[in-house]
Structure 1
């Protein structure tokens, strides 16, 4: 595990006078590194500032280990929740004063209690969970190999990856990679993706490129628009996934029936 990514979305860091406030923050932590979170102050610096008055100056910390990350709760009264957004309600509770609670989820949402209506939360991605190569099972432990690209086929980001690859898997030609709105529409009838937004799809694409597939898309000086760069990123993702067989024809069964998607497209055109 090379590290974790901690992300505080815009407006998720608490409230100021009842209104959500705060710019988005993204931290990258390697093994052995620590990020503290809380309200902070001049004498209590924190890497992740959560502005809600119900949160302590130093509320807790994230510590990255070689193969997992840990959450420490500095509060003496409040428990914190670590939710698995893709685990059908799966969560763990970190009790007050708990030190170094190990978190097993690949994608987590840390939620802190407040007195307001807007929850205070941030996300933690642990992108390098390692899985044994199924073809190597049964051999002596010292000879085990691990997969080069660690992908969870039950995760939403994998559905996005399959949707990106679908046209080329079905057509076997150099057809255009789907746009973000097309992916949203393609997955809308999936039970886990009814509330999927274009912003969420873009985040999943960035996660695939930057953390799971480790694609470095160089900016072309001739490309001045963000849309062109993102399209290049999608092309790189699809190319790598198909070349290495990370997405295959059998994975198309994970997507909603194509007839349903096409029916929705026809209704939209009327």
Structure 2
């Protein structure tokens, strides 16, 4: 009983402290608002906001092959034969450059009849199956844009039943993220120098560096965090490192029931596929003392 009473007292004592910890720094409308420690002396808070465009580095599309036969097994086998050579040819690039997923689905095709209204309907009965339709699908994700055109041409030369539209997206790597964050900090420093110079002051030591930029967006006068827009972004140009030319294409793969497209067929089906540019933005907050 004594342990239970002690736990209740501890919880009751902790409740006000928790409430105090969760209260805002001040109430909106108060006359005096406590300022952060770094504002005890004259400071300038500068937000670096940068924007750049980087070419998409991922492409994805799909294709399907269709086969119809009297038995489900034969239809599935024929459909699988159509994509076997293609999947092996694309798999030769390696998973770091091209990733391939294949699936085969089979469905029955029933005898059809017209009802009393003349509408054509399927006679959905096990003994009324006429044929089986097998659809072999291949989903392709290209991670090396240097081989995109050749991969797409290889799929076209394989003569699939249908080919999907190529979609692009950007997954920035760590090098791009680090570079953009550095540009945001440099932009904050540039803005701070120009603002201080225009006001007839000079920059002192750095007080705060916030990579998120949120420290500069606190509305101290209102007594409440006011995270809003940081204004117009500065355009910066990204210069990627030199990338060597792609390795030579893999040799055509022979597979049971079907052959991979020849080099002449691939080159004849080749099209220009240029990855589009995608916008990246970042910001940082740097607080300086003023001299």
Q: Under a length normalisation based on structure 2, what TM-score does the superposition of the two structures give?
A: 0.17
Q: Which has the larger radius of gyration?
A: 2
Q: Under a length normalisation based on structure 1, what TM-score does the superposition of the two structures give?
A: 0.18
Richer in strand (by share): 2
Q: Comparing both chains, which one has the higher relative contact order based on Cα–Cα distances under 8 Å and sequence gaps of 6 or more? A: 2
